[in-house]
Structure 1
Amino acid sequence: MASTSFQNVSHGEYDAFLTFRGEDTRKRFIGHLYTALNNKGIYVFRDDKQLEKGGSISPNLLKAIEESRISIIVLSKNYASSTWCLDELLKIVECKNREDQIFQIFYKVEPTVVRKQTVSFGEAFAKHEEFFRDNIEKVQKWRHALKVVANISG
């Protein structure tokens, strides 16, 4: 059985950019997913650093998103509570011009919760709207990006 590979990577480029909420998925799911992708020859960027809430997304991270052929978004219960995750998501949606460049995984969260932004996603956005009340446009961009991703068929 032949395996598919994304190899053909130039310096500084990745086959896939992996975005996830660490507290929800890092210890088990992400580790297994990352290993499985690497075992198939898929060169994956994964940012494992603990990031401060409200911190700015780094230029290196933005570059990794831009240079990745695809993005894999692991949407979990607390994904929307992280402004860092939402900034990554927004950049992914802005950079990837075809739906086949974005893959979403709903990890212990229903797609309708993400799409309609209810339950934990609704709670997170209520907090973001309060915190960013002087920049509500940013919150609206995050909401739109989540809807785009949640509506991709897969």
Structure 2
Amino acid sequence: MASSTTPNGIYDVFLSFRGTDLQNNFIGHLYNALDQNGVFTFIDSEELRKGDQISQALMKAIEESCIAIIVFSDDYASSRWCLEELAKIMECKEQKDLIVLLVFYKVDPREVRGGRESYGRALAKHEFKFGKDSKGSEEMEESSF
């Protein structure tokens, strides 16, 4: 679900995360706090995902946001959707000056940065399934967070 947008259709914040357990706890609290303070926030719901590629609605929401908050959790990188969101977020960071904030939820930042543990396994699986030049794995390797 997405909160109502500003009059010109731009979101203040785009939340990128993985898992309903996270959505029902940490993300839910974060979303409610942002919403109660008048911060127009896009939060993904499973219904938006159709087909094999990230939906156009998600891409447009990222492009129209001023800030992206990426919540890295243990299984974030295991999702192709999350990796595609990450790639789009990093593209908008470079091209549109999107502000990107990182939250490391119960995961060591060194694991994410270095591609160790669950992130290393997920990225290797992603590369095997979609190729070395796939967007998400490239962005994780090249990103400067």
TM > 0.5 between the two?
Answer: yes
What TM-score do the two structures reach when normalised by structure 2? 0.85
In the aligned structure 2, how far is the partner of 1:119 from the partner of 1:125? 10
Question: How far off is 1:144 after superposition?
Answer: 3.9
- Structure 2: 5+ residue stretches without partners: none
Q: Which residue in 2 is equivalent to 1:79?
A: 76
Distance in 1 (CA, whole Å) between partners of 2:32 and 2:132 is: 38
Cα distance change on mapping 1:19 and 1:144 into 2, 3 Å:
same
In the alignment, structure 1 segments of 5+ residues that lack a partner are 1-7
Residue type at the aligned position of 2:103: I
Q: Alignment length, in residue pairs?
A: 140
Deviation per CA, 1:30-76, whole angstroms, max 9, x where unpaired? 10000011111100000121677982111111110000011000000
Runs of 4+ in 1 over 6 A off after TM superposition: 51-54
Task: Map 1:115-130 to 2 at 5 A.
Answer: 115-130=113-128
Which position in structure 1 is the counterpart of 2:101? 103
Bigger drift between 43-52 and 17-26 goes to: 43-52
Sequence identity percentage:
48
Cα 1:124–1:53 change in 2 (3 A) is farther
Cα deviations by residue, 1:112-144 (Å, 9 ceiling, x for unpaired): 000001100011112112212xx3200xx4234
**Partners of 2:56 and 2:50 in 1: CA distance:** 17
CA RMSD of aligned residues (A): 2.4
